[in-house]
């Protein structure tokens, strides 16, 4: 054996590499005499231990007290971001933060992104404003009374108008620089017909179902065929907005009617509750998202507009749907215009200004005070600046979608 070969074998033995015999008769005779093997002297791989750091080892009682005090002290943006920072430290911090932070209906504040799809507070509305950018056809929803000078307001939602041959689409996203429906920041969309007189609101996730409806959905999911997980996104029809046609050009403001299919009319009754989602659901993992959800009468909802490459599924109506209507304005003789009391939140006269109240069936046990409460108001305060105030049972996304319909051209409704 040459010195070079001897040195190579020593190096292989040192590195723990299994010795392989040379090809030929000597190797075959060696394998026939024994079936022993020389295994490398290595320790079996151990499961990787996730290191969360020293902050994860704080006593739960102390951590609970710390996060509760932080959450109570941070009432507005951008200081509210400290609550989000606490939820980003580790899993134990996030779990406790999610338990402490309440929904907008309970605390009147927006914290996590899911808050934008949860109903607003019952007593006082959440006040926001919308900034319109004509050059890019984008509409940005911010949290706050009026725009600040340092541009430090919190961006809640962003929408981009896309004109099509058959109508107009408003794609809603959590960010202002990405409106792709395949992105995780996609929230939903608003689609109009050709005349701009009717709109359909779509949500990126299905609405909250009751226990019986969830059981029915699970049975159908078990028998459903699996589809390709490369589907970009899915849409669920959650409501419609209709503007009354004004072909005769009679004098008067726009008249609109909103049917919220995902909100039952009983939610405004004494002790009623509106559906409240707790987390964003991904359609990429739902193999049943291509199946239409039946309505209360066992039929599918009527979708009037042309479909796209993404799935558009009607929701399962939760009983009788909530209907919103315009609050009737009064004619001001001195100003010679229609007027509404916006309580100082609207300062410029515009055809886009409106207030919505619940259109309640007399058979429902709803007080007159509850019927007169303004659920959503929208109005102009400056060039391309509008205020939006909403409350229970609407969410920020639903209110924003209704307001977006006011920006579309309506030649037959003016």
| Beta-carbon contacts of residue 369 (< 8 Å; ≥ 6 apart) | none
**DSSP result, 3-25:** HHHHHHHHHHHHTTPPP-PPSSH
**DSSP result, 77-97:** TTTTHHHHHHHTS-HHHHHHH
Query: Does residue 80 fall inside a structural domain?
Result: yes
Element (H, E) at 264: strand 256-264
Query: Does residue 68 fall inside a structural domain?
Result: yes
Query: Does residue 88 fall inside a structural domain?
Result: yes
- As a whole number of angstroms, the distance between CA 305 and CA 240 comes to 12
Cβ pair 185, 156 in contact under 8 A: no
- Containing structural domain, residue 94: 56-101
Cβ pair 232, 288 in contact under 8 A: no
Cβ pair 120, 105 in contact under 8 A: yes
- Residue 308's pLDDT is 41
- Angstrom CA distances, 303 to 13, 200, 381, stand at 73, 8, 35
Query: Does residue 90 fall inside a structural domain?
Result: yes
Residues 116-129: pLDDT tens digits? Answer: 999 999 989 999 99
- Residue 297's pLDDT is 40
Radius of gyration of the chain (CA): 30
Q: Are strands 168-173 and 186-192 parallel, antiparallel or unpaired?
A: antiparallel
If you search the block for the tokens 């109240």, which residue do you land on? 357
- As a whole number of angstroms, the distance between CA 165 and CA 217 comes to 36
Residues 78-90: pLDDT tens digits? Answer: 678 888 888 888 8
Query: Does residue 87 fall inside a structural domain?
Result: yes
- Residue 183's pLDDT is 86
> 249-282 burial string, b = 16+ CB within 10 Å, else e?
eeeebbebbbbbbbbbbbbbeeeeebbbbeebee
- Residue 388's pLDDT is 96
Q: 25: which 2 tokens? A: 């008769």
- Residue 337's pLDDT is 77
- Residue 51's pLDDT is 54
User: Which residue numbers in the chain have pLDDT < 50?
Assistant: 17-19, 22, 24-34, 210-232, 284-311, 315-317
> Rounded to an integer, what is the distance from CA 273 to the centroid of its chain?
19
Query: Does residue 357 fall inside a structural domain?
Result: no
Label each residue of 209-243 as H, E or C: CCHHHHHHHHHHHHHCCCCCCCCCCEEEEEEEEEE
Query: Does residue 405 fall inside a structural domain?
Result: no
- Residue 38's pLDDT is 53
Query: Does residue 392 fall inside a structural domain?
Result: no
Domain count, the chain: 1
Torsion of CA 396, 82, 150, 174, to 10 degrees: -30
| Closest CA relative to residue 315, chosen from 150, 201, 162 | 201
- As a whole number of angstroms, the distance between CA 237 and CA 63 comes to 41
Element (H, E) at 372: helix 368-372
């Amino acid at each position: 054996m040459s010195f070079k070969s001897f040195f190579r074998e020593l190096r292989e033995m040192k590195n723990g590499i299994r010795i392989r015999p040379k090809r030929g008769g000597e190797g075959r005779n060696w394998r026939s005499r024994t079936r022993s093997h020389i295994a490398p002297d290595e320790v079996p791989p151990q499961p990787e231990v996730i290191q969360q750091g020293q902050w994860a080892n704080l006593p739960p009682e102390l951590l609970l007290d710390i996060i509760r005090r932080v959450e109570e002290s941070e009432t507005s943006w951008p200081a509210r971001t400290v609550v989000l920072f606490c939820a980003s430290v580790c899993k134990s911090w996030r779990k406790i933060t999610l338990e402490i932070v309440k929904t907008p209906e309970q605390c009147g504040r927006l914290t996590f992104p899911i808050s934008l799809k949860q109903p607003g507070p019952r007593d006082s509305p959440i006040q926001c404003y919308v900034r319109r950018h004509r050059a890019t056809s984008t509409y940005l929803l911010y949290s706050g009374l009026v725009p600040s000078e340092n541009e430090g307001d919190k961006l809640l939602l962003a929408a981009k108008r896309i004109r099509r041959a058959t109508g107009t689409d408003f794609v809603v996203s959590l960010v202002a620089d990405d409106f792709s429906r395949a992105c995780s920041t996609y929230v939903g969309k608003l689609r109009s017909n050709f005349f701009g007189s009717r709109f359909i609101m779509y949500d990126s996730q299905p609405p909250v179902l009751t226990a019986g409806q969830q059981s029915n959905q699970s049975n159908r999911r078990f028998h459903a065929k699996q589809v390709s997980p490369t589907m970009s996104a899915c849409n669920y029809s959650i409501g419609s907005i209709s503007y009354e046609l004004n072909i005769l050009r009679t004098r008067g403001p726009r008249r609109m009617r909103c049917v919220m299919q995902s909100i039952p009319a009983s939610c405004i009754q004494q002790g009623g509750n509106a559906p409240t989602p707790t987390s964003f659901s991904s359609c990429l993992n739902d193999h049943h998202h291509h199946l239409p959800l039946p309505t209360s009468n066992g039929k599918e909802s009527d979708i009037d507009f042309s479909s796209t490459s993404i799935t558009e599924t009607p929701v399962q109506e939760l009983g009788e749907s909530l209907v919103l209507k315009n609050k009737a304005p009064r004619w001001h003789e001195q100003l010679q215009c229609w007027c509404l009391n916006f309580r100082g939140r609207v300062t410029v006269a515009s055809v886009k200004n409106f207030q919505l109240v619940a259109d309640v069936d007399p058979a429902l046990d709803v007080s007159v005070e509850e019927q007169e409460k303004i659920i959503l108001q929208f109005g102009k305060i400056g060039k391309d600046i509008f205020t939006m105030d909403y409350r229970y049972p609407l969410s920020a996304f639903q209110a924003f979608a209704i307001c977006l319909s006011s920006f579309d051209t309506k030649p037959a409704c003016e």
